[in-house]
Structure 1
């Protein structure tokens, strides 16, 4: 039946979105893209996440080798490596409702979630 197949796809999409949103840095990057598109990845290390220069360098490395490739693979962003830009990807609108839900209720969430 189509319904069963559709449920599996929806479940897979939900699990993918939850996996992507499980990381605070990825959440903040995607939330920033709602209002600011494109973004330079070097500037996109979320404020308040890094502590000093060493932590910033670690985060930049994590973005380049982990976060940006994962978000690009899922289609939520397009990463223009040559110009260091991150823009909304073809599947960004699929995750947008969750990002907006988080943003609209940010004052109700525990500290550190966003």
Structure 2
């Protein structure tokens, strides 16, 4: 494996290590785009394994701040997404194709209760 490939793999793993980024990318992969305000409730619900209507505004606010100041810029810096804070629009960029197979493996693990249990051991 050459250094460039190793660096790309390490960056992809680092990006997907955070659940907020994975959940955001799951949502974007399904719809190819989303609005920040709309996606915050859904992401907070996934994080806390509940319904969007049951997520309190404080959790949504913390997630919003985390997305705006951390996760969105990181994903944009790696060419995975493009976003506009004024409109709140978030769309996948060309770099998403590079991490899509790895993201799908994460999703499969997170969707399967048996695999989730094994990974927490």
Short-chain TM bin: 0.7 to 0.9
In the alignment, which of 77, 82, 85 is matched to residue 81 of structure 2?
Answer: 77
1:12 paired with 2:18, answer no
Give the aligned partner of residue 109 of structure 1: 116
Give the aligned partner of residue 49 of structure 1: 47
Runs (4+) of structure 1 exceeding 3 A deviation are none
Give the aligned partner of residue 94 of structure 2: 90
C-alpha distance in 1 between matches for 2:117 and 2:78: 27
Deviation, structure 1 residue 55: 1.5
In the alignment, which of 7, 28, 40 is matched to residue 23 of structure 2?
Answer: 28
Deviation, structure 1 residue 104: 3.0
Task: Check conservation: 2:82, 2:92, Cα contact below 8 A.
Answer: yes
What is the aligned length?
A: 107
TM-score normalised by the chain length of structure 2: 0.79
Q: Give the superposed CA RMSD.
A: 2.0
Q: Which moved more, 1:50-59 or 1:70-79?
A: 50-59
State the SS of the aligned residue for 2:37: coil
State the SS of the aligned residue for 1:78: strand
Deviation, structure 1 residue 86: 0.7
| Runs of 5+ consecutive residues of structure 1 not aligned to the other structure | 1-5
Task: Check conservation: 2:23, 2:46, Cα contact below 8 A.
Answer: no
C-alpha distance in 1 between matches for 2:93 and 2:69: 18
State the SS of the aligned residue for 2:23: helix
Give the aligned partner of residue 38 of structure 1: 33
